[in-house]
Protein backbone atom coordinates (compact mmCIF):
# COMPACT_ATOMS: atom_id res chain seq x y z
CA UNK A 1 0.00 0.00 0.00
CA UNK A 2 1.00 3.64 -0.31
CA UNK A 3 1.28 4.00 3.47
CA UNK A 4 3.60 0.98 3.73
CA UNK A 5 5.76 2.26 0.87
CA UNK A 6 6.08 5.69 2.48
CA UNK A 7 6.92 4.14 5.85
CA UNK A 8 9.65 2.05 4.24
CA UNK A 9 11.17 5.02 2.43
CA UNK A 10 11.06 7.20 5.53
CA UNK A 11 12.73 4.49 7.63
CA UNK A 12 15.74 4.24 5.32
CA UNK A 13 16.02 7.67 3.73
CA UNK A 14 14.77 10.24 6.25
CA UNK A 15 17.02 11.39 9.11
CA UNK A 16 15.82 12.05 12.68
CA UNK A 17 15.59 15.79 11.92
CA UNK A 18 12.95 15.01 9.29
CA UNK A 19 15.13 15.83 6.29
CA UNK A 20 16.66 13.44 3.77
CA UNK A 21 19.69 11.56 5.05
CA UNK A 22 22.90 13.59 4.54
CA UNK A 23 24.00 11.54 1.52
CA UNK A 24 20.95 12.70 -0.45
CA UNK A 25 20.50 16.26 0.82
CA UNK A 26 22.75 17.77 -1.82
CA UNK A 27 21.51 15.72 -4.78
CA UNK A 28 18.85 16.78 -7.26
CA UNK A 29 17.08 13.49 -7.98
CA UNK A 30 16.50 12.40 -4.33
CA UNK A 31 15.20 15.88 -3.49
CA UNK A 32 12.82 15.82 -6.46
CA UNK A 33 11.42 12.41 -5.54
CA UNK A 34 11.11 13.39 -1.88
CA UNK A 35 9.01 16.41 -2.85
CA UNK A 36 6.95 14.62 -5.48
CA UNK A 37 6.12 11.57 -3.38
CA UNK A 38 5.53 13.44 -0.11
CA UNK A 39 8.26 11.55 1.72
CA UNK A 40 9.10 14.47 4.03
CA UNK A 41 6.50 15.02 6.74
CA UNK A 42 7.82 18.14 8.49
CA UNK A 43 7.09 21.47 6.79
CA UNK A 44 10.51 22.73 7.86
CA UNK A 45 12.17 19.80 6.11
CA UNK A 46 10.17 20.42 2.93
CA UNK A 47 11.17 24.10 2.95
CA UNK A 48 14.84 23.26 3.57
CA UNK A 49 14.80 20.72 0.74
CA UNK A 50 13.43 23.32 -1.67
CA UNK A 51 16.12 25.81 -0.67
CA UNK A 52 18.85 23.18 -1.04
CA UNK A 53 17.48 22.08 -4.41
CA UNK A 54 17.55 25.60 -5.83
CA UNK A 55 21.08 26.07 -4.49
CA UNK A 56 22.13 22.80 -6.13
CA UNK A 57 21.02 24.04 -9.54
CA UNK A 58 22.77 27.36 -9.00
CA UNK A 59 25.97 25.62 -7.83
CA UNK A 60 25.96 23.66 -11.11
CA UNK A 61 25.58 26.76 -13.25
CA UNK A 62 21.80 26.33 -13.50
CA UNK A 63 22.22 22.94 -15.18
CA UNK A 64 20.41 19.71 -14.34
CA UNK A 65 22.32 16.80 -12.81
CA UNK A 66 19.54 14.24 -13.19
CA UNK A 67 19.57 10.94 -15.07
CA UNK A 68 16.73 9.09 -16.76
CA UNK A 69 14.58 8.70 -13.62
CA UNK A 70 15.15 12.18 -12.23
CA UNK A 71 14.68 13.94 -15.55
CA UNK A 72 11.35 12.16 -16.08
CA UNK A 73 9.85 14.05 -13.09
CA UNK A 74 12.14 17.08 -13.06
CA UNK A 75 10.09 19.75 -14.78
CA UNK A 76 6.66 18.86 -13.38
CA UNK A 77 8.02 18.57 -9.84
CA UNK A 78 9.82 21.90 -10.06
CA UNK A 79 6.64 23.53 -11.37
CA UNK A 80 4.18 21.96 -8.94
CA UNK A 81 5.53 20.44 -5.73
CA UNK A 82 8.66 22.62 -5.51
CA UNK A 83 6.96 25.84 -6.61
CA UNK A 84 9.88 26.75 -8.90
CA UNK A 85 8.51 27.16 -12.44
CA UNK A 86 11.14 29.86 -12.98
CA UNK A 87 13.89 27.28 -12.45
CA UNK A 88 12.17 24.86 -14.82
CA UNK A 89 12.20 27.55 -17.50
CA UNK A 90 15.85 28.31 -16.70
CA UNK A 91 16.76 24.66 -17.30
CA UNK A 92 14.75 24.58 -20.52
CA UNK A 93 16.53 27.67 -21.86
CA UNK A 94 20.01 26.55 -20.81
CA UNK A 95 22.61 26.07 -23.57
CA UNK A 96 25.47 24.68 -21.49
CA UNK A 97 26.17 20.96 -21.25
CA UNK A 98 24.12 19.20 -19.92
CA UNK A 99 20.91 20.68 -21.34
CA UNK A 100 18.37 20.15 -24.07
CA UNK A 101 19.49 23.17 -26.05
CA UNK A 102 23.11 22.03 -25.84
CA UNK A 103 22.05 19.00 -27.89
CA UNK A 104 20.07 21.26 -30.24
CA UNK A 105 23.15 23.42 -30.70
CA UNK A 106 25.05 20.27 -31.74
CA UNK A 107 22.46 19.59 -34.44
CA UNK A 108 19.81 17.56 -32.59
CA UNK A 109 16.36 17.32 -34.15
CA UNK A 110 15.30 14.49 -31.79
CA UNK A 111 15.89 13.73 -28.11
CA UNK A 112 19.14 11.83 -27.66
CA UNK A 113 20.19 9.21 -25.09
CA UNK A 114 23.12 11.42 -24.09
CA UNK A 115 23.27 15.19 -24.09
CA UNK A 116 26.49 14.91 -26.09
CA UNK A 117 25.70 11.95 -28.32
CA UNK A 118 27.19 14.08 -31.08
CA UNK A 119 29.39 17.13 -30.62
CA UNK A 120 30.33 19.29 -33.56
CA UNK A 121 33.92 19.63 -32.37
CA UNK A 122 34.60 15.94 -31.64
CA UNK A 123 31.94 13.90 -33.47
CA UNK A 124 30.01 10.87 -32.23
CA UNK A 125 30.04 9.54 -28.68
CA UNK A 126 30.57 5.88 -27.62
CA UNK A 127 28.42 3.65 -29.84
CA UNK A 128 27.50 1.36 -26.93
CA UNK A 129 25.28 4.09 -25.50
CA UNK A 130 24.44 6.59 -28.21
CA UNK A 131 20.80 6.40 -29.25
CA UNK A 132 19.60 9.37 -31.27
CA UNK A 133 15.90 8.81 -30.60
CA UNK A 134 15.55 8.08 -26.91
CA UNK A 135 12.52 9.16 -24.92
CA UNK A 136 13.95 9.38 -21.37
CA UNK A 137 15.00 13.03 -21.61
CA UNK A 138 12.06 13.67 -23.92
CA UNK A 139 9.72 13.95 -20.93
CA UNK A 140 10.36 17.69 -21.25
CA UNK A 141 8.04 17.72 -24.27
CA UNK A 142 5.05 16.75 -22.12
CA UNK A 143 5.95 19.63 -19.79
CA UNK A 144 6.09 22.03 -22.74
CA UNK A 145 2.52 21.08 -23.71
CA UNK A 146 1.20 20.85 -20.16
CA UNK A 147 2.92 23.83 -18.54
CA UNK A 148 4.18 26.19 -21.22
CA UNK A 149 1.02 25.88 -23.32
CA UNK A 150 -1.01 24.68 -20.33
CA UNK A 151 -2.91 21.92 -22.16
CA UNK A 152 -3.62 19.15 -19.66
CA UNK A 153 -5.91 16.18 -19.31
CA UNK A 154 -8.29 15.99 -16.37
CA UNK A 155 -7.18 12.95 -14.37
CA UNK A 156 -10.67 12.70 -12.84
CA UNK A 157 -12.36 12.73 -16.26
CA UNK A 158 -9.96 11.13 -18.77
CA UNK A 159 -10.43 11.20 -22.52
CA UNK A 160 -10.41 14.99 -22.96
CA UNK A 161 -14.17 15.41 -22.64
CA UNK A 162 -13.14 17.83 -19.93
CA UNK A 163 -9.87 19.72 -20.31
CA UNK A 164 -7.63 21.63 -17.92
CA UNK A 165 -5.91 24.72 -19.30
CA UNK A 166 -3.23 26.02 -16.94
CA UNK A 167 -0.33 27.80 -18.67
CA UNK A 168 2.60 29.19 -16.72
CA UNK A 169 3.98 32.27 -18.46
CA UNK A 170 7.62 33.34 -18.61
CA UNK A 171 8.79 36.52 -20.31
CA UNK A 172 12.11 34.93 -21.29
CA UNK A 173 10.24 32.77 -23.78
CA UNK A 174 8.13 35.63 -25.05
CA UNK A 175 5.51 33.62 -26.88
CA UNK A 176 4.15 30.09 -27.11
CA UNK A 177 1.76 28.45 -29.58
CA UNK A 178 0.60 24.84 -29.34
CA UNK A 179 -2.20 22.57 -30.48
CA UNK A 180 -3.26 19.14 -29.27
CA UNK A 181 -5.52 17.00 -31.46
CA UNK A 182 -7.99 15.58 -28.95
CA UNK A 183 -10.75 13.08 -29.83
CA UNK A 184 -13.18 16.04 -29.90
CA UNK A 185 -11.05 18.32 -32.04
CA UNK A 186 -8.00 20.52 -31.61
CA UNK A 187 -7.25 22.11 -28.25
CA UNK A 188 -5.25 25.26 -28.96
CA UNK A 189 -3.28 27.59 -26.71
CA UNK A 190 -1.17 30.60 -27.69
CA UNK A 191 0.22 33.39 -25.52
CA UNK A 192 2.63 36.27 -25.91
CA UNK A 193 4.23 38.76 -23.55
CA UNK A 194 3.91 42.43 -24.43
CA UNK A 195 5.23 45.58 -22.83
CA UNK A 196 4.80 46.37 -19.12
CA UNK A 197 4.33 42.69 -18.27
CA UNK A 198 1.04 42.27 -20.16
CA UNK A 199 0.30 38.74 -21.35
CA UNK A 200 -2.30 37.99 -24.03
CA UNK A 201 -3.55 34.41 -24.18
CA UNK A 202 -5.90 32.85 -26.75
CA UNK A 203 -7.24 29.33 -26.27
CA UNK A 204 -9.74 27.06 -27.98
CA UNK A 205 -12.05 24.58 -26.26
CA UNK A 206 -13.39 22.01 -28.79
CA UNK A 207 -17.08 21.36 -29.44
CA UNK A 208 -18.86 19.09 -26.95
CA UNK A 209 -16.21 19.63 -24.29
CA UNK A 210 -15.67 21.92 -21.32
CA UNK A 211 -12.51 23.30 -19.75
CA UNK A 212 -11.31 24.47 -16.37
CA UNK A 213 -8.98 27.42 -16.78
CA UNK A 214 -6.36 27.97 -14.09
CA UNK A 215 -4.13 31.04 -14.19
CA UNK A 216 -1.44 31.86 -11.60
CA UNK A 217 -2.90 33.82 -8.72
CA UNK A 218 -6.52 33.47 -9.88
CA UNK A 219 -9.43 31.22 -9.00
CA UNK A 220 -10.22 28.48 -11.57
CA UNK A 221 -13.00 29.27 -14.05
CA UNK A 222 -15.04 26.94 -16.27
CA UNK A 223 -15.50 27.49 -20.02
CA UNK A 224 -17.69 25.87 -22.65
CA UNK A 225 -16.62 25.23 -26.25
CA UNK A 226 -15.31 28.24 -28.12
CA UNK A 227 -12.26 30.43 -28.66
CA UNK A 228 -11.37 33.01 -26.03
CA UNK A 229 -8.76 35.71 -25.55
CA UNK A 230 -7.66 36.90 -22.09
CA UNK A 231 -5.19 39.62 -21.12
CA UNK A 232 -3.40 39.84 -17.82
Sequence-separated (6 or more) residues with CB below 8 Å from residue 41: 10, 14, 18
Q: Is it the case that residue 192 has pLDDT exceeding 90?
A: yes
Nearest CA among 168, 159, 167 for reference residue 210: 159
pLDDT tens digit sequence for 22-67? 999 989 999 999 999 999 999 999 999 999 999 999 999 999 999 9
Rounded to whole angstroms, the Cα distance separating 40 from 115 reads 31
**pLDDT recorded at residue 29:** 98
Q: Are 178 and 149 in contact (CB under 8 A)?
A: yes
**pLDDT recorded at residue 11:** 94
pLDDT tens digit sequence for 125-154? 998 899 999 888 999 999 999 999 999 999
**Cβ count near 87 (within 10 Å):** 20
The pTM (predicted TM-score) of the whole model is: 0.95
Amino acid sequence: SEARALAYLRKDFVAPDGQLIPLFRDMQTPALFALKLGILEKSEAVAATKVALRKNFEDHGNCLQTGFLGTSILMDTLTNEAGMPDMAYTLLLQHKNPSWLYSVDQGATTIWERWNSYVKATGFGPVSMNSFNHYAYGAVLAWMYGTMAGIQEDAADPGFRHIVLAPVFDRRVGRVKAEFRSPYGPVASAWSCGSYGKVTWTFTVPANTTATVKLPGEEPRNYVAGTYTLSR
